[in-house]
Amino acid sequence: MSGNRNDYSSPAEWLSMVRQDGAWLNQQSYLESSTESDISELRDQAIRWIGEGETLGFWEIYRHEVEPVVAEVWEIADLTLAKLKIQTVGMLSIEWIEQHAKLGDHDSKESAKEDQSGLNYFAPMKILQELLSEKWFDEVSTDKKRFTVAWRHQLMEDLMASDCRDEVAKAWANKDLRLQVKGHVMGALTKAGVFKKDKFLPIARIYCGTHENSMDPKTLSNYMGKWNKTHYGDWIIDYVKKE
């Protein structure tokens, strides 16, 4: 992987590559072969990798959401991508542990406290803003002067201030549903006429950076087609039409 930020279109693209990189894949393999008795030590090791600086602070603020943390620290000048990669492998390790491992009573109680503290509206807003700010958007936009990055950021900010925000936040709280949320947003924007193409699969291919009808664009396209199963899909269409 390149150590130059300019080689990546966004923090999200860099994070996607980290998830496919040998450093994380090796760590993931080690985690998968670990036993329950190893979990506490592995968790402590991951925290040491994250360190005591801004990354750890945002990690706690976003309640262990990797994507918004990377987006927040991306522009820190003295944080090299090599160091951020180590920190990110630490965050991904904790994410894996929390998803797959049986935690002790203390961690379970702490997780329960977090669950009771309310929905996280900021994390989905931040990631959806990042999603719509990537270069694929301009490739399919019908009006670059109207649908600027500022417009897209305001769209997501207004969505997460609307009466649809609970629906988005509840879905986002389930990591397995996040791609669906992204697909619903992209599908609604397609139907609203924000994108040149009126079919979902071509847009999904552009987003995924492929000309093939492989599993990733097909899955995303399927979610895009289900935009009308959500209230926030209708909200997005009304938002675009009312302007």
User: What pLDDT is recorded for position 108?
Assistant: 40
Give the CA dihedral 100, 58, 207, 175, nearest 10 degrees: 30
Closest C-alpha to 67, from 10, 15, 19: 15
User: What pLDDT is recorded for position 101?
Assistant: 53
User: What pLDDT is recorded for position 104?
Assistant: 41
Tens-digit pLDDT profile for residues 187-209? 999 999 999 877 899 999 999 88
Whether 200 contacts 190, CB under 8 Å = yes
Tens-digit pLDDT profile for residues 48-58? 999 988 999 99
Residue 195 neighbours by CB distance under 10 Å: 23
Whether 91 contacts 82, CB under 8 Å = no
Over the chain (243 residues), the average pLDDT of each successive run of 10 is: 90 91 90 81 91 90 90 92 96 86 42 51 87 90 93 94 94 89 96 89 90 86 94 96 84
User: What pLDDT is recorded for position 237?
Assistant: 96
User: What pLDDT is recorded for position 215?
Assistant: 85
